[in-house]
């Protein structure tokens, strides 16, 4: 088979779930910006379809593939994997790019290896946190791991895997220039209670009590709660003190509302990296069931549970987990940022340093460029 024909083969992107679909679409734009005249096929969703993706499979087909759900859906998953292998064998793409969804994409990586197709991993699994043995799989089955967190590259390389740091995709989503021009309101506190009903029911009453205590000490304070998509406002208000002056806003302009606040009370998750990049000091809290916590202590080996602290390698924002997540502790951590300008300036400087560590926008474009360069070295 001649090189010209090989070069014309499509790139197979395997993106599971809605978030993977969005990252896959950004990756396709990155390939286009790099001047790659390639067709893209594989597994994707509406965001990728809008970029011209020729979908063989829908990203929603792996939305149920997870730690607890896999056995219930095993027959469907086995059938899906069989169909994916058959199409990979027929299409023989020039490369397979795996986006997130490790429970599914590790199996796709095995198929690619069996068929002699180079595989690349973008939005890699957090193997540095738990099930670290998976790094050996990535070393053996993936040509390059494209990391989005600055400390990941060294972790992968220390285990013999080929890894490049491309930056975090959030830097392309957050309008930082616009936000940097805004001055936070000195008397406004934000509340980010999470996106799942369980965590909202657990954490919002505690955030509400903490806000009430701060308001009792300073009646000039005002509060903004950012509602997650699909979360009912009436349900949220049930968990808040009725006397608290709080506005509930939708998710569409959430970054502007985060920046508008002097500080935030937030549930743990990706949102803590968003708030850190925006530059708004945040008190992070999280509570899980005792069983989940016990299992986590056994399986997860990381010094912090919030991404800003992991990236910085030290605690720059307070973390309150389990029994520590009390209204009193939240107030104790938040109040110095309201009263002490030196303490506030110090945490703001830390957050500025974190943003610098995360690099510049353009993660997907850099990932696409690295993949294309490696494919050229392979004559593909």
**Is pLDDT of 222 > 60?**
yes
Fold classification of 3-167+362-377 (topology level): Rossmann fold (3.40.50)
Work out the average pLDDT over 59-69: 60
**Per-chain mean pLDDT for the chain:** 90
pLDDT, residue 215, reads 97
Comparing 75 with 252, the larger pLDDT belongs to 252
**Is pLDDT of 71 > 60?**
no
Work out the average pLDDT over 304-313: 90
**How far, rounded to the nearest angstrom, does the alpha carbon of residue 335 sit from its chain's CA centroid?**
29
5 confidence band (pLDDT: 50, 70, 90) = very low
103 confidence band (pLDDT: 50, 70, 90) = confident
**Is pLDDT of 31 > 60?**
yes
**Is pLDDT of 4 > 50?**
no
**Is pLDDT of 127 > 80?**
no
**Is pLDDT of 130 > 90?**
no
Tens-digit pLDDT profile for residues 253-264: 999 999 999 999
Tokens of 24: 């896959």
Name the range with the highest mean pLDDT among 29-43, 48-62, 117-131, 332-346: 332-346
Comparing 303 with 187, the larger pLDDT belongs to 187
Tokens of 221: 């304070």
pLDDT, residue 247, reads 96
350 confidence band (pLDDT: 50, 70, 90) = very high
**CATH homologous superfamily of 176-357:** Glycogen Phosphorylase B; (3.40.50.2000)
**Is pLDDT of 295 > 80?**
no
Residues of the chain with CATH 3.40.50.2000: 3-167+362-377, 176-357
pLDDT, residue 73, reads 64
Q: What percent of the chain is modeled with pLDDT above 70?
A: 91
pLDDT, residue 375, reads 95
132 confidence band (pLDDT: 50, 70, 90) = confident
Work out the average pLDDT over 171-188: 96
pLDDT, residue 297, reads 66
**Is pLDDT of 300 > 90?**
no
Tens-digit pLDDT profile for residues 330-341: 999 999 999 999
d(CA 258, CA 177): 14
């Amino acid at each position: 088979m001649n090189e010209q024909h090989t070069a014309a083969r499509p790139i197979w992107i395997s993106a599971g779930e809605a978030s993977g679909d969005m990252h896959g679409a950004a990756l396709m734009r990155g390939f286009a910006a790099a001047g790659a005249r390639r067709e893209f096929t594989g597994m994707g969703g509406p965001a990728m379809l809008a970029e011209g993706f020729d979908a063989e499979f829908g990203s929603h087909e792996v939305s149920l593939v997870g730690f607890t759900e896999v056995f219930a859906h095993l027959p469907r998953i086995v059938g899906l994997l069989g169909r994916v292998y058959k199409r990979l064998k027929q299409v023989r793409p020039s490369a397979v790019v795996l986006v997130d969804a490790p429970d599914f994409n590790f199996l796709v990586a095995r198929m690619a290896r069996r068929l002699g197709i180079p595989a690349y991993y973008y939005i890699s699994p957090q193997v540095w946190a738990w099930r670290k043995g998976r790094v050996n799989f990535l070393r053996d089955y993936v040509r390059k791991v494209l990391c989005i967190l600055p400390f990941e590259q060294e972790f992968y390389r220390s285990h013999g895997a080929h890894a490049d740091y491309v930056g975090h995709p959030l830097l392309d989503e957050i309008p930082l220039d616009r936000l940097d021009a805004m001055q936070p309101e000195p008397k406004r506190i934000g509340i980010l209670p999470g996106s799942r009903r369980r965590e909202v029911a657990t954490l919002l009453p505690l955030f509400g009590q903490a806000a009430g205590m701060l308001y009792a000490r300073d009646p000039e304070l005002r509060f903004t709660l950012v509602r997650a998509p699909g979360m009912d406002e009436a349900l949220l208000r049930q968990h808040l003190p009725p006397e608290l002056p709080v506005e509930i806003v939708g998710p569409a302009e959430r970054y502007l509302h985060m920046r508008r606040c002097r500080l935030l009370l937030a549930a743990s998750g990706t949102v803590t990296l968003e708030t850190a990049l925006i530059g708004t000091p945040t008190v992070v809290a999280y509570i899980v069931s005792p069983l989940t916590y016990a299992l986590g202590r056994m399986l997860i080996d990381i010094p912090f549970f919030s991404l800003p602290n992991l990236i910085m390698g030290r605690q720059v924002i307070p973390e309150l987990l389990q029994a520590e997540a009390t209204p009193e502790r939240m107030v104790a951590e938040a109040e110095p940022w309201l009263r002490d300008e030196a303490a506030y300036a110090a945490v703001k400087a830390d957050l500025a340093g974190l943003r610098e560590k995360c690099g510049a926008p353009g993660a997907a474009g850099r990932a696409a460029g690295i993949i294309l360069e490696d494919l050229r070295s392979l004559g593909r």
